[in-house]
Structure 1
Amino acid sequence: MNSQQKVAIITGASQGIGAGLVKAFRDRNYRVIANSRSIKPSSDPDVIAVAGDIGDRAVAQRVVAEAIARFGRIDTLVNNAGIFTAKPFTAFTEQDYADNISVNLNGFFHITQLAIAEMEKQGSGHIVNITTSLVDHAIDGVPSVLASLTKGGLNAATKSLAIEYAKRGIRVNAVAPGVIKTPMHAPESHGALAGLHPVGRMGEISDVTDAVIYLDTAGFVTGEILHVDGGQSAGH
């Protein structure tokens, strides 16, 4: 085993942005631990698929244990797993609330705590949290309180962790996307969704993966919330 080859953990990795991130890191010769509830085994010996709900600490423990057992290190963690429930505030159910907290916050907390413990042993590491531009720029007609509550918390945690671990060689950043063209959005909705962005189009998966890779290589950048949102956060 070449323990010097870098290793990334990616959550929410079975489709959309997560699958794009797996490819982007493999293209840069990273080994990858890929997690999602429904992920299938990988035919690539340098990609280990770990199925399970990242909101469950036991799953997070299994992901980190696989990374160390198979590849000997963890260099980057991308907290990509997340859910978005668009409903009027008074229409949210207790289950909606519980689901958003479980995936968006518990899923971040458990895996990040465990990964940082390993990164501290190495004296290096990088965390990237995928949040949302809606935290900074709410849009009329796109009800997003639970997204803002949870992903806004991740933006704040990004800065807090960046300062806490700056002197220990661990960087923490976030990417805050606009609406990205993924299987989550039906093709017939693309026109309306494109109109939510000042540049007049939806984002592509590559727009997000390029931002994550940039942050991963930018050694002097930490505590940054990088908006990849077609100008949404700047205004209309």
Structure 2
Amino acid sequence: MKNKTVIITGASTGIGKEIAKYFIERDSNVVMNSSNEENLRRTYKEFDSPSNAVYLAGDISKQETSQKLATLALETFNSIDVLINNSGVFAPKPFLDVEEKDLERYWSVNLKGTYFTSQAVIPQMLKQQNGSIINIGTVLVEHAIAGFSATAPLTSKGAIHSLTRQLASEFGKNNIKVNTIAPGIIRSPLQGKIGIEDADSLAGLHLLNRIGEAIEVAEAAYYLATSNFVTGETINIAGGHTVGHAI
């Protein structure tokens, strides 16, 4: 991945931040995005303002943000080799309490953000006849938990899983690979945001009896970015979450 150009959305905190760091340290050219400009600038400085990275703040649910990211990548690094659609929002809420504004939020950020950014980069990947798109879903799409009601965000994530397979089918002949990473419980700021004070208390949801670390998702993203014969797949980075439970 040296000198390859990677666009990463939601790159200022959590999993996205770790993915950005992983690729930057391996000499990829990285375009970082987040809706929070202050967090994005702070993360960039924390990385020691690397010369092989640039950043652009913007709401990924707006199509203009996707176009700006693609333009910045091309103007700065002359290619778009990998897109990692990490940006997303997620929180539990009982089904009967979900309002239209909840659905609009999740579908706008999670699905439309992934959809528009993919639309923005694929024309360049078609010119190159090569590229990789990596979407971030969740194991909960295929493995529901009765005590964790999150129908609003999960419908948007389920759509992302479906979008992955369709794009892989449509653009496989152009050597554009499209895959999904479905994480289990990963140690990140998201856990605190949704009210989980002790993420390690959820270790039993995984056969390995521990929660995952953000770097393990970054390693999976790097593998998919470099793989030339994997497409249309959903890769569970979940310690056996979908297979069974430790008790």
TM-score scaled by structure 1?
0.94
| 3-state DSSP of counterpart to 1:73 | coil
**2: distance between equivalents of 1:183 and 1:191?**
13
Structure 1 runs (4+) deviating above 3 angstroms are none
Q: Deviations over 1:7-55 (max 9, x none)?
A: 0000000011011011111122110100001121732222111001100
**1: distance between equivalents of 2:175 and 2:103?**
35
**2: distance between equivalents of 1:183 and 1:58?**
27
Q: Deviations over 1:174-220 (max 9, x none)?
A: 10000110012237322332222222111100111111111112211
Structure 2 residue 41 is matched with structure 1 residue 40: yes
Aligned to 1:27: 25
Aligned to 2:198: 189
Q: Identity over the aligned pairs, expressed in percent?
A: 41
| 3-state DSSP of counterpart to 1:233 | coil
Give unmatched runs, 5+ long, in structure 1.
none
How far 1:95 sits from its partner (Å)? Answer: 1.8
**2: distance between equivalents of 1:57 and 1:94?**
21
Is this contact kept in 2: 1:134–1:144, CA < 8 A? no
> Could you say what the CA RMSD is over the residues aligned between the two structures, in angstroms?
1.4
Give unmatched runs, 5+ long, in structure 2.
none
**1: distance between equivalents of 2:204 and 2:190?**
17
| 3-state DSSP of counterpart to 1:188 | coil
Structure 1, 67-76 or 214-223: larger mean CA deviation: 214-223
How many residue pairs get aligned? The number is 233
How far 1:232 sits from its partner (Å)? Answer: 1.3
What is the aligned counterpart of 1:55 among 61, 76, 85? 61
Is this contact kept in 2: 1:53–1:59, CA < 8 A? yes
Aligned to 2:74: 68
| 3-state DSSP of counterpart to 1:55 | coil
**2: distance between equivalents of 1:190 and 1:151?**
21
Q: Deviations over 1:62-104 (max 9, x none)?
A: 1111001111100000000011120111112222111101110
What is the aligned counterpart of 2:11 among 1, 10, 13? 13
Structure 2 residue 239 is matched with structure 1 residue 230: yes
How far 1:167 sits from its partner (Å)? Answer: 1.0
Aligned to 2:130: 124
Structure 1, 141-150 or 80-89: larger mean CA deviation: 141-150
